[in-house]
Structure 1
């Protein structure tokens, strides 16, 4: 299912894509400090983090972004983050991102699951499963 592997030559509508990626309760991570702060916040609040590593030029990322935003509004007991792999290149590399979008599911800062690609049914299934396992209800 949809994966982007490399940056295309030229795409000038990045501004519109940022708005798409941060709708609902999705928070954009633009620095390593913000990442650390959000993970600490999630741990203190007992929330599982879903981190979406994506890129503004990636077609599948743009397709799944509104759905990711919908999930963030429905499952408020989880923390939804988006990381632009081009903005945080070194940080993204440390997560060994091979394709975008890549979703990491983190509890207490530790990876508990992963999904590569813009697979809406699988993403929804994983979000529901994690939400159910925490005994939390959707909003």
Structure 2
């Protein structure tokens, strides 16, 4: 499954109303650690159809970033049933991130 771009305007539809766990990559264009995480996030999206993967550029979507108090990027938020249930901040090994999110898959 491809990574979906979320914005302030479609965040509820893409993330909060999703029927499966969602991994949200809060990132910015200028953020080098975010660029390091991008291939990991893309791989998870391709390899795990049971997880919805969404990217949200914090510079272009400040409302959502402030709503979830995103202070450091990359922040990888895990959403289930319309709530952020967990998050990982910073560059993280793929398996660690997968272990975190897979516990929310039914």
TM-score (normalizing by structure 1): 0.69
Considering only CA atoms, is the larger Rg found in Structure 1 or Structure 2?
1
Report if the CA contact (8 A) 2:17-2:82 is conserved. Answer: no
Could you list the runs of 5+ residues in structure 1 that have no partner in the other structure?
1-23, 135-139
- The Cα shift of 1:122 comes to 2.2
> How many pairs align?
105
| Greater RCO, CA 8 A, separation 6+ | 2
The TM-score normalised by the length of structure 2 is 0.88
1:49 match: 22
1:93, CA displacement in angstroms? 1.2
Q: Equivalent of 1:127, from 98, 101, 106? A: 101
- Is 1:34 the equivalent of 2:10? yes
Q: CA deviation at 1:40?
A: 5.4
SS in 1 for 2:9: helix
Let me know the Cα RMSD of the aligned residues.
1.6
Report the alpha carbon displacement of residue 82 of structure 1 after superposing the two structures with TM. Answer: 0.5
Where has structure 1 moved over 6 Å in runs of 4 or more? Answer: none
Deviation at 1:39, TM superposition (A): 2.8
Alignment match of 1:110 (pick from 76, 79, 83): 83
Match in the other structure for 2:73: 100
Residue 19 of structure 1 is matched in structure 2 by: none
Deviation digits for residues 46-93 of structure 1 (CA, Å, limit 9, x no counterpart): 301111111111111001101110011111011111100100013211
The corresponding residue for 1:11 is none
**For the residues of structure 2 that align with 1:59 and 1:33, how far apart are their CA atoms?**
26
Mapped partners of 2:22, 2:33: distance in 1: 21
